[in-house]
């Protein structure tokens, strides 16, 4: 790992990923106790800095922090730094002066967690930056697949949807590739980023070909505003061509699992009966999110970077 932050799957080695996953498996045990709390981060402060609202991810980090006995503070600045005429670096310096032990950042623009990390002595955990990375989502997805398949090496993973605008796709591509899986992507051509093969994946225009023989089929959440003509003619057409249902899933392996980072647009990305019933593991993903984020906070919170002033 590069230093003390978790900014993206791109920075992690396979061994780093294994450490996060293995630690998370031990954290899962705490979630099964009556007293779901350990004193590990007592007296430590974790700041949830969410420039972009995301109740699910923020709550998941908040529960994770609280199960480790940290004080979790939610800080939700409105809109972009421009509207407050406060630069990102000012935000970072202000935070730094409050001596947090970890800062969890969600921002609508790629690169902001990195820029803040450059100014902060506490570890920065990227909770999603624009269409760039969402490493804790990828790690919890890896954990979920590991639980189901007991391996990742050699699996075929197909990611479907708006690859171009998806941080979940980018982080999962990196994560699954580093752990030895084959990764395919599929989606409308307008939603496949330029030269996507440079990421190490194969791109498919047809859903059926993309999921042929897949062990894991991951549907991405689609922003509805992109389905009204700008990238795809209509929601109906998207659901018909790239929405996943049990009939289409037949082309995948018999024991294939279906994943989705949530929240699901039922009837768009996943058919209604695939949203939360087997072979969908969507709720396991949510459950694993807390354990995985506990692992991340345990391994990073309280460490500080050496900085030349």
Partner 1 sequence: MSSDPPVQSSRVRAESRSADAVSEGVPAHVVLDDVAIGRALMRIAHEVVERNDDLASLYLVGVPNGGVPLARRLAANLGEVADLDPLVGILDTTLYRDDLVGEGARPLLRKTEMPSAVDDRVVILVDDVCSTGRTVRAAMDALMDFGRPRAVQVVALVDRGHRELPIKIDYVGKNIPTRHGDLVKLLMEGASGDERLRVVVEQEGSR
Partner 2 sequence: MRVRIQGGRVIDPGSGRDEVADVLLEDGRVVAVGRGLESSEAEVIDASGSWVTPGFIDLHTHLREPGLEYKEDIASGGRAAVAGGFTTIACMANTDPVNDDPSVTDYILDQAKQDAPGKVLPIAAATKGLEGKVMTEMSALVDAGAVAFSDDGRTIMDSGIQRRVLEYSRLVGKPVIVHAEDRTLCGDGVVNEGPVSTRLGLPGNPAVAETVLVARDIQLAELAGAHVHIAHVSTAGAVDLIRDARARGVHVTAEVTPHHLTLTDEATLGFDTNTKMAPPLRSARDLQACLEGLADGTIDAIATDHAPHAVHEKEVEFTEAPPGILGLETGFAVVLELVRSGGLTPSQLVAALTSGPAAVLGLPVGRLEPGAPGDVLVIDPERRWTYDPSKGFSKSRNSPWAGQELVGRVETSFVDARLVYHADRGVLMP
Site residues (vs partner 2, CB under 8 A): 10, 80-82, 87-90, 107, 109-112, 114-115, 129-133, 165, 167, 170, 193-196, 198-199
Q: Give which of 72, 114, 63 is closest to 292, Cα–Cα.
A: 63
Q: Is the dihedral of CA 77, 80, 84, 86 positive or negative?
A: positive
Residue 271: CB minimum distance to partner 1, A: 32
Which residues in this chain contact partner 1 in the complex, by CB under 8 A? 18-19, 21-23, 25-27, 29-30, 33-35, 37-40, 68, 146, 298-299, 302-304, 306
Query: Is it true that the peptide bond before 246 is cis, omega within 30 degrees of 0?
Result: no
Q: Give which of 19, 3, 2 is closest to 298, Cα–Cα.
A: 19
Which residue, 200 or 233, is less far from partner 2 as judged by CB?
200
Report residue 160 CA to chain centroid gap. 15
Which residue, 44 or 134, is less far from partner 2 as judged by CB?
134
Binds 34: which of partner 1, partner 2, none (CB < 5-8 Å by kind): partner 1
Residue 232 CA to residue 48 CA, distance in Å, equals 34
Element (H, E) at 64: helix 55-67
Q: Are 306 and 149 in contact (CB under 8 A)?
A: no
Residue 305 CA to residue 246 CA, distance in Å, equals 49
Binds 81: which of partner 1, partner 2, none (CB < 5-8 Å by kind): partner 2
Residue 20: CB minimum distance to partner 2, A: 21
Binds 254: which of partner 2, partner 1, none (CB < 5-8 Å by kind): none
How many CA within 13 A on the CB side of residue 297? Answer: 36
Residue 38: CB minimum distance to partner 1, A: 4
Which residue, 149 or 266, is less far from partner 1 as judged by CB?
149
Which residue, 6 or 249, is less far from partner 2 as judged by CB?
6
Cα R_g (the chain), whole angstroms = 19
Binds 89: which of partner 2, partner 1, none (CB < 5-8 Å by kind): partner 2
State both tokens at 23.
């630690």
Binds 27: which of partner 1, partner 2, none (CB < 5-8 Å by kind): partner 1
Binds 309: which of partner 1, partner 2, none (CB < 5-8 Å by kind): none
């Amino acid at each position: 790992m590069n230093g003390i932050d978790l900014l993206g799957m791109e920075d992690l080695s396979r061994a780093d990923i294994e450490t996060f996953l293995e630690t998370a498996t031990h954290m899962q045990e705490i979630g099964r106790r009556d007293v779901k709390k350990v004193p590990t981060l007592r007296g430590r402060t974790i700041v949830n800095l969410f420039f972009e609202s995301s109740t699910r991810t923020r709550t998941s980090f908040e529960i994770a922090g609280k199960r480790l006995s940290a004080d979790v503070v939610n800080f939700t600045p409105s809109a972009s730094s421009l509207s407050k005429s406060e630069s990102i670096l000012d935000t970072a310096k202000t935070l730094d002066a409050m001596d947090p032990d970890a800062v969890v950042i969600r921002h609508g623009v790629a690169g902001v967690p990195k820029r803040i990390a450059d100014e902060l002595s506490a570890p920065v955990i990227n909770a999603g930056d624009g269409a760039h990375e969402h490493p804790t989502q990828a790690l919890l997805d890896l954990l979920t697949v590991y639980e189901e398949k007991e391996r990742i090496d050699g699996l075929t993973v197909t990611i479907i949807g708006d690859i171009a605008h998806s941080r979940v796709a980018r982080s999962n591509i990196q994560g699954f590739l580093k752990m030895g899986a084959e990764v395919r992507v599929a989606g409308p051509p307008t939603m496949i980023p330029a030269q996507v093969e440079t990421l190490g994946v194969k791109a498919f225009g047809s859903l059926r070909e993309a999921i042929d023989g897949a062990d894991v089929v991951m549907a991405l959440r689609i922003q509805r505003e992109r389905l009204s003509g700008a990238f795809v003619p209509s929601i109906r057409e998207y659901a018909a061509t790239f929405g996943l249902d049990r009939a289409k899933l037949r082309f995948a392996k018999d024991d294939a699992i279906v994943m989705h980072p949530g929240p699901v647009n039922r009837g768009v990305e996943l058919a209604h009966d695939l949203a939360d019933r087997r072979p969908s593991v969507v709720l396991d993903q949510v459950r694993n999110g807390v354990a995985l984020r506990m692992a991340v906070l345990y391994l990073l919170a309280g460490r500080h970077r050496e900085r030349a002033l």
